[in-house]
A and B are shown apart, each in its own frame.
Chain A
Amino acid sequence: GAVVSQHPSWVICKSGTSVKIECRSLDFQATTMFWYRQFPKQSLMLMATSNEGSKATYEQGVEKDKFLINHASLTLSTLTVTSAHPEDSSFYICSARPPGYEQYFGPGTRLTVT
């Protein structure tokens, strides 16, 4: 149990376009979901925390207008990278947390902006 999926697993887009990444909790309801970014050979850095039905809380230094997060249901959160640039190329990982439990992580999405 406690499976989190992400779609797509990898995406290539052109500079200036927007790309949406989905994070789903498949067998549980997650009141809270988290989005992380991981650059090559670096650790995970929390970007934002989203609670179902409310606005996401962004970490310092993360542009909320560039990284749009929507947590419309208890099983789905989306991250949209708007006007993507090559420096946004990274590995994006989401996690979902059912009430009273720890975070369960998705498999990640590799974004390459050309």
Chain B
Amino acid sequence: KQEVTQIPAALSVPEGENLVLNCSFTDSAIYNLQWFRQDPGKGLTSLLLIQSSQREQTSGRLNASLDKSSGRSTLYIAASQPGDSATYLCAVRRPPDKLIFGTGTRLQVFP
């Protein structure tokens, strides 16, 4: 059974810090891994998607890496801003067509 865990569960940092969010999964048989952002009471916004054959993806201040063999992914946020405050979820796509979500990291960036 695929389990996805995220560490830390919550994080509070001052504006400007560089952050690393961690995601681990128990079964390496995945199609891809995706990072999402969720604001309180809202749906999901896709941030980055890494295919199983890829090592990393970048979008602006975000960089996500994937080490499938060790079952780990990290989301790096550079120069954090208060607007980055949200819950960050990782999810792995498992055959044939199922997303398994992680436990989430609640991020607060204060001015």
Nearest Cβ on chain A to B52's Cβ, whole angstroms: 13
Segment among B11-19, B70-78, B96-104 that sits at the interface with chain A: B96-104
Contact size class for B? 20 to 34
Contact size class for A? 20 to 34
Q: Flag if A44 contacts B89 (CB, 8 Å).
A: yes
List 12 additional contacts besides A43-B103, A46-B98, A108-B43; criterion CB under 8 Å. Answer: A6-B43, A32-B97, A43-B89, A44-B99, A46-B100, A49-B98, A91-B41, A93-B43, A93-B44, A102-B93, A105-B36, A107-B42
A-B contact pairs, 17 of them (CB 8 A): A42-B103, A42-B104, A44-B99, A44-B101, A45-B101, A46-B100, A49-B97, A49-B98, A91-B41, A93-B43, A97-B97, A102-B32, A105-B43, A105-B44, A106-B43, A108-B43, A110-B41
Closest 7 CB pairs of A and B: A107-B43, A105-B44, A43-B101, A44-B101, A108-B43, A105-B43, A43-B104
